Amino acid sequence: MDNRFKARLGLTIGDTNGIGPEVIIKTLSDQRVLNYCTPVIYASASVLNKVRKALSAEHFHYQQVQSAQAIVPRKVNLVTCLDEALETNLGHPSPESGKASLDSLMAASRDLKAGLLDGIVTAPIDKENIQTEEFNFPGHTEFLTSYFDAPESLMLLVSGDLRVATITGHMALKDVPSKLSFDLIIRKVTILLESLRKDFGILKPRIAVLGLNPHAGENGLLGTEEQEIIRPAIMHLKEKGHLIFGPYPADGFFGKQLYKQVDAVVSMYHDQGLIPFKTLAFESGVNYTAGLPIVRTSPDHGTAYDIAAKHVASETSFREALFLACDIIKKRTAEQMPVV
């Protein structure tokens, strides 16, 4: 691979009492990863060494550097941003592990904003114990949208050719109907269209839109959002020349495997999209934040406290998140290069 595309990827450690350190070490124990990127872990030697020892990960090696300005190509780099005296207690969330996850995220985000990184892959956080005055957000997506001054972003779940976006994100189900609007759908689908072109190289994307209600409202019998909001938004986008179809009943759409006929599926709320996505691609799924000026991916799973001390976590999703970040950075870089 061309050295110009060897991405400098910041890896945030996530909650130190979850499986973040484990899946990072397992992913980077395969030296072939270094053919695609230069990983920069934001954590501490004490956290990594404890988990490395428990995993007997003799193939995992890293280079400690004082800052991202000193990262060493073709090596796994560690930027120390956590207290070396931090006590880890795998499987048990704590204020200390929440603070560590925030310290790692902030350090990587600062370096990304400063141009020292090309993208970040975020290990799972605990959305409750990370909360502070500095981090008052439902999750990574909302924080990064604010930190990088993006007007809006889109949660996009990716596994190969399966891509599922959500119009609304981390919010109570009871709040979804009042949040939905014609303008919101237009804005979110526009982000999706642009991302499919720029980040995935799909020049004329085909997008399916799900309804909100059972049976997509059954012509108003089970709800009117499809008639009043969703269908008009679809028609508006069609008039702009986009290949947008729907609204489809969510159950039948996935049951009939219609997702295989389109480039992306748009769901109205979090679980409507993520339940079928995780059923189809739980271990290989990646969460990508579309619409940001930077590239951020994450594994499509949480802290998994229940297995954190057992050291049986699969690194597949984290590895896929790392490779997707590399692919998107490569596409964006190639797009910006002048034609000779």
Range of the domain at 134: 1-150+292-340
Quick one: tokens of 39? 């990983």
Rounded Cα–Cα distance for residues 153 and 293 (Å): 10
User: Domain check: are 103 and 78 in the same one?
Assistant: yes
DSSP string of 239-286, one letter each residue: HTT-EEEEEEPHHHHHHTTGGGGSSEEEESSHHHHHHHHHHHHTTT-E
Tell me, what DSSP letter sits at residue 210?
E
Instruction: Please name the amino acid found at residue 328.
Output: I
User: Domain check: are 141 and 173 in the same one?
Assistant: no
Quick one: tokens of 132? 């502070």
Under 8 Å between Cβ of 109 and 147: yes
pLDDT of amino acid 337: 56
Pairing of strands 37-43, 77-80: parallel
For 200, phi then psi, to 5°, come to: -120, -5
Of the candidates 266, 284, 302, which is a domain's last residue?
Answer: 284
User: Domain check: are 133 and 157 in the same one?
Assistant: no
User: Domain check: are 176 and 277 in the same one?
Assistant: yes
DSSP string of 142-153, one letter each residue: HHHHHHTT-S--
Q: Bridge-partner residues for 79, per DSSP?
A: 42, 65
pLDDT of amino acid 336: 67
DSSP string of 291-318, one letter each residue: T-SS-EEEESS---HHHHTTT----HHH
How many independent structural domains does the chain possess?
2
CA angle 207–211–212, rounded 5-degree value:
135
Under 8 Å between Cβ of 289 and 140: yes
User: Domain check: are 138 and 170 in the same one?
Assistant: no
Helix/strand/coil for 155: strand
User: Domain check: are 247 and 309 in the same one?
Assistant: no
User: Domain check: are 14 and 94 in the same one?
Assistant: yes
pLDDT of amino acid 3: 46
Rounded Cα–Cα distance for residues 76 and 254 (Å): 40
User: Domain check: are 34 and 47 in the same one?
Assistant: yes
Rounded Cα–Cα distance for residues 238 and 233 (Å): 9
Q: What is the pTM of this model?
A: 0.93
User: Domain check: are 242 and 265 in the same one?
Assistant: yes
Quick one: tokens of 281? 């691609």
User: Domain check: are 230 and 126 in the same one?
Assistant: no
Tell me, what DSSP letter sits at residue 226?
I
User: Domain check: are 188 and 327 in the same one?
Assistant: no
Q: What is the pLDDT of residues 236-255, one digit of tens each?
A: 999 999 999 999 999 999 99
Under 8 Å between Cβ of 285 and 268: no
Q: How many CB atoms lie within 10 A of CB 306?
A: 10
Rounded Cα–Cα distance for residues 96 and 85 (Å): 11
Q: State how far the alpha carbon of 129 is from the alpha carbons of 67, 121, 205, 259, in Å.
A: 27, 20, 39, 36
pLDDT tens, residue order, the chain (340 aa)? 344 558 999 999 999 999 999 999 999 999 999 999 999 999 999 999 999 999 999 999 999 999 999 999 999 999 999 999 998 999 999 999 999 999 999 999 999 999 999 999 999 999 999 999 889 998 999 999 999 999 999 999 999 999 999 999 888 999 999 999 999 999 999 999 999 999 999 999 999 999 999 998 788 888 899 999 999 999 999 999 999 999 999 999 999 999 999 999 999 999 999 999 999 998 899 999 999 999 999 999 999 999 999 999 999 999 999 999 999 999 998 876 554 4
CA angle 78–118–79, rounded 5-degree value:
15
